């Protein structure tokens, strides 16, 4: 199981500093996140790409339904080329809050889900490199074009996509799990009741369901990623049991620290820096030699 961390708040240069620090202290990935108005995540990740050598770079997460898919494919492709093949994109429907609805109205969950699927279809088609690719969807359409196409991405056929997946109530189609099964990774939406921890049995259940779906599609399980979103320092995501090894045995391939309870500002940045310098928690993996 590999280890990553999400930077909750940082300027572009601060993010680069934290990415370099993470690389030196044994982390395998650093993640930003997308805001409608704020620091541009893929610019931030591109800057970190040229300042690092090994650490993977991604989002946790990208609300892909609000992107024009060709714009998104261009941004992710640029980061993958700048990094030599270290980009990863996490996608979901997005958490609606006033920082979203102040700029764009909510189109409704069903519409966002359909747009997400179409966006990913176009993303994969464009980065796949076929100049004859065209698309005619409900929300997005494009004609084939070979005009000034960018170079291919180092990761083929495209940088991997991790998808949020949640178990729907009994009797309903498991659409989000089906979506996750089609792509390269799963971020299980494992949420206990208010104040309750996230339980490893729930991650194991979601993972088994997605594995069955992939097998039904004839897709391999080997190389597929499953993310355990954790917080070893605070209370944002309490896991039961807290030992990362139990989550690895349940199917997790990534342990991602999400420190959303750290406040913005100099004091919060200092705390994030301290946590990054401490390295991944015990039980995730043996520490790497420092660069």
Cis peptide before 88 (omega within 30 of 0): no
Given this model, what pLDDT does residue 291 score? 40
pLDDT tens digit sequence for 190-213: 876 666 888 999 999 999 999 999
**CA distances to 14, 88, 171, 187, 226 from 59, in Å:** 16, 7, 32, 12, 15
Average pLDDT over residues 100-118: 94
pLDDT tens digit sequence for 18-51: 999 999 999 999 999 999 999 999 999 999 999 9
Mapping DSSP to helix (H, G, I), strand (E, B) and coil, where does residue 107 land?
A: coil
CATH of segment(s) 2-278? 3.20.20.30
Mean pLDDT, the chain, whole residue set = 94
Helix (H) or strand (E) holding 74: helix 69-83
Average pLDDT over residues 243-249: 96
Rg of the chain's alpha carbons, rounded to an integer?
A: 19
Looking at the predicted structure, is the pLDDT value of residue 287 above 70?
Answer: no
pLDDT tens digit sequence for 111-162: 999 999 999 999 999 999 999 999 999 999 999 999 999 999 999 999 999 9
Given this model, what pLDDT does residue 289 score? 45
Given this model, what pLDDT does residue 170 score? 83
Given this model, what pLDDT does residue 194 score? 66
Minimal CA–CA distance to 130: which of 157, 108, 109, 99?
A: 157
pLDDT band at 263 (very low <50, low <70, confident <90, very high): very high
Looking at the predicted structure, is the pLDDT value of residue 249 above 70?
Answer: yes
Give this prediction's pTM: 0.95
- DSSP summary character for residue 68: -
Looking at the predicted structure, is the pLDDT value of residue 55 above 60?
Answer: yes
Looking at the predicted structure, is the pLDDT value of residue 288 above 60?
Answer: no
Given this model, what pLDDT does residue 238 score? 85
pLDDT band at 235 (very low <50, low <70, confident <90, very high): confident
Given this model, what pLDDT does residue 39 score? 95
Average pLDDT over residues 241-255: 96
pLDDT band at 95 (very low <50, low <70, confident <90, very high): confident
In angstroms, the first-to-last Cα distance of the chain is 20
Given this model, what pLDDT does residue 201 score? 96
pLDDT tens digit sequence for 58-78: 999 999 999 999 999 999 999
Given this model, what pLDDT does residue 193 score? 66
pLDDT band at 284 (very low <50, low <70, confident <90, very high): confident
- DSSP summary character for residue 162: E
Q: Residue ranges of the domains in the chain?
A: 2-278
pLDDT band at 96 (very low <50, low <70, confident <90, very high): confident
């Amino acid at each position: 199981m590999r280890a990553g961390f999400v930077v909750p708040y940082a300027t572009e240069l601060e993010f680069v500093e934290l990415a370099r620090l993470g690389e030196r202290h044994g982390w395998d990935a650093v993640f930003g996140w997308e805001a409608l108005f704020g620091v541009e995540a893929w610019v931030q990740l591109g800057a970190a790409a040229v300042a690092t050598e090994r650490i993977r770079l991604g989002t946790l997460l990208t609300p892909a339904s609000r992107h024009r898919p060709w714009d998104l494919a261009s941004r992710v492709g640029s980061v993958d080329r700048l990094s030599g093949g270290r980009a990863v994109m996490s996608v979901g429907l997005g958490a609606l809050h006033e920082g979203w609805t102040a700029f764009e109205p909510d189109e409704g969950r069903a519409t966002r889900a359909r747009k997400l699927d179409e966006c990913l279809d176009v993303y994969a088609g464009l980065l796949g490199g076929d100049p004859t690719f065209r698309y005619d969807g409900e929300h997005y359409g494009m004609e084939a074009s070979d005009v000034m196409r960018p170079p291919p991405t180092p990761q083929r056929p495209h940088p991997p996509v991790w998808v949020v997946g949640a178990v729907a109530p009994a009797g309903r189609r498991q659409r989000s799990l089906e979506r996750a099964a089609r792509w390269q990774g799963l971020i299980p939406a494992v949420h206990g009741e208010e104040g309750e921890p996230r339980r490893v049995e729930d991650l194991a259940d979601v993972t088994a369901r997605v594995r069955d779906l992939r097998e039904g599609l004839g897709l391999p399980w080997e190389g597929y990623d499953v993310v355990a979103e954790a917080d070893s320092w605070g209370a944002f995501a309490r896991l039961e049991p807290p030992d990362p090894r139990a989550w690895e045995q349940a199917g997790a391939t990534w342990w991602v620290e999400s420190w959303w309870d750290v406040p913005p500002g100099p004091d919060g940045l200092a705390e994030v820096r301290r946590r990054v310098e401490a390295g991944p928690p015990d039980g995730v993996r043996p520490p790497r030699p420092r660069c």
